[in-house]
Amino acid sequence: MSDILDKIVAVKRQEIAAAQKRSPLEAVRFDAESRVLTRDFEGALRARITAGQAAVIAEVKKASPSKGVLREDFIPADIAQSYAEGDGQISAACLSVLTDKQFFQGGVDYLKQARASCDLPVLRKDFLVDAYQVYESRAMGADAVLLIAAILDDAQMKDYEAIARGLGMAVLVEVHDAAELERALELKTPLIGVNNRNLRNFEVSIQATIDLLPRVPADRLAVTESGIATREDVATLRAAGVHAFLVGEAFMRAKEPGEALAALFK
């Protein structure tokens, strides 16, 4: 892992310990298992692709560790509605909401507000390192969770995937290279996120997705993440056979994020 990932994981373990004192695992698990109505995250993506459109997971993201605050006027419900509406023709298929507080200035309430304001399925974007967080994700209303191969071992990924699927949630497993992809393909989830950010030098290139795409089986759905900033980027990726995108920073500074999304994917 990189130094920043090591720091994040350490903070997550502290957060989990504090959360368990407030709400024990048994209580969170009971809450999670009582929430039976999830929205079909994978189905929403595949429906857009079947219709010949790009399947966009639009991110609700206030800040990043490297760029600071991305949007001062940050109202998750309004951002989610804007994404859901788009320009009336092109819009988001799903949402991704940052819930990490210390590094991304996110929050659980942001996910709840975004999901309540529209009908789109919602991914909890955070750094999951304990089963507690998987149950917590469903309890807060998430329809899908992110598992990051770089911070989890094989046993953890399989365990957390099984819990998530048992709760009716989709799983997006994120990889950075061929070795992580091979590990991810041992899971049942069809959703494979390829992060275009190199963990060694932090450079971003959409070529990372293009290079790994031939290794992704036809029954899996590759989702490209990071570095999608121009219509040329989108055209290059779609020409290579990539039709699912997770995009956030490119829209956060726009007055109407949904209109910015539509313009990028026209």
- The 3-state DSSP class for residue 65 equals coil
Q: Tell me how crowded residue 245 is: count the other CB atoms within 10 A of its CB.
A: 26
As a dihedral over the C-alpha atoms of residue 188, residue 194, residue 195, residue 196, rounded to 10 degrees, the angle is 170
Would you state the structure tokens that stand for residue 181, as one six-digit string?
């992809």
Q: Considering the candidates 12, 15, 42, 61, report the single residue annotated as catalytic.
A: 61
Contacts of 45 (CB under 8 A, 6+ apart): 55, 57, 93, 94, 191, 221, 223, 244
119/231 Cα distance (integer angstroms): 27
Q: Considering the candidates 174, 180, 249, 259, report the single residue annotated as catalytic.
A: 174
Q: Considering the candidates 42, 195, 249, 259, report the single residue annotated as catalytic.
A: 195
Active site residue 195: yes
Active site residue 125: yes
16/115 Cα distance (integer angstroms): 23
Active site residue 42: no
Q: Considering the candidates 42, 136, 161, 225, report the single residue annotated as catalytic.
A: 225
Active site residue 225: yes
Q: Considering the candidates 125, 137, 196, 249, report the single residue annotated as catalytic.
A: 125
Active site residue 59: yes
Q: Considering the candidates 59, 136, 249, 259, report the single residue annotated as catalytic.
A: 59
Would you state the structure tokens that stand for residue 262, as one six-digit string?
């539509």
Q: Considering the candidates 42, 82, 226, 249, report the single residue annotated as catalytic.
A: 226
| Residues carrying an active site annotation | 59, 61, 125, 174, 195, 225-226
